[in-house]
Amino acid sequence: MAADFTSKSELARHFIQCYLAARDGLAALGILRSERHLQADYAEWLVAEHLHLHLATSKVQSVYDALDAQGLTYQIKSRIVQHLAQSTSFDFVAVGKPFNYLVCVFFSRRLEVLAIMRVPYQVVSELGSHTGTTFRFRWNRRTANDPRIERIVWQEQAYSLDAPLINEKSTRDENEPD
């Protein structure tokens, strides 16, 4: 039994060292900017690179994550989904401090980009709803078909109107960091 634990412990230490080396490398590339989950920082970096945005220097402020050359503000949020027909939500502490756009990034479990959408603040405000403690913008069939939502990146094979909408608590919970 002790030998089994020892070999598992050594293997765990090896993978932890690989993980830490990968985090150091991603930080050196400017992708990881905080001690948050990789998913959130990676989504912000991807969107900033793709849309030529400037990431906010302070990770503490919650009004926006990035600015464009015209000074428009972007709130960037991401979720891991099985497919784009899966229902999920993007939550805000408050939506009273407006930003110009919400950018939603949908990742596969391997952090492959399935979709990036740009949603004007007015649409977020109109289609979202207040919960007890947050403001929630729901991604579902209604929002997926709203013509005011711009599909910047869209992997068609990752979306099927015939696919059942899934509302899994585990998917929502693992995506809390942004």
For 11-23, write each residue's pLDDT tens digit. 988 998 998 899 8
Instruction: Please tell me the distance from the alpha carbon of residue 124 to that of residue 110, in angstroms, as a whole number.
Output: 27
What's the distance, Cα to Cα, between the start and end of the chain in Å? 41
Question: Hey, where are the domains in the chain?
Answer: 1-30, 36-173
What pLDDT does residue 100 have? 96
What pLDDT does residue 175 have? 46
Half-sphere exposure of 124 (CA within 13 A, CB side): 28
**Cβ atoms of residues 44 and 65 within 8 Å:** yes
Q: How many CB atoms lie within 10 A of CB 72?
A: 14
Nearest 5°: phi and psi at 103? -110, 120
Of residues 85 and 2, more confidently modeled: 85
What pLDDT does residue 124 have? 94
Stretch 149-154: mean pLDDT: 94
What pLDDT does residue 178 have? 54
Give the tokens for residue 46: 């991807």
What pLDDT does residue 60 have? 65
What pLDDT does residue 97 have? 72
The domain 36-173 is classified under which CATH number: 2.60.40, 3.40.1000, 3.40.210, 1.10.3470?
3.40.210
Instruction: Please tell me the distance from the alpha carbon of residue 151 to that of residue 134, in angstroms, as a whole number.
Output: 25
For 106-141, write each residue's pLDDT tens digit. 999 889 999 999 999 999 999 998 888 888 999 998
* Strand pairing report for 113-120 and 150-154: antiparallel
Instruction: Please tell me the distance from the alpha carbon of residue 45 to that of residue 51, in angstroms, as a whole number.
Output: 10
State which H helix or E strand residue 16 sits in.
Answer: helix 2-28
What pLDDT does residue 164 have? 45
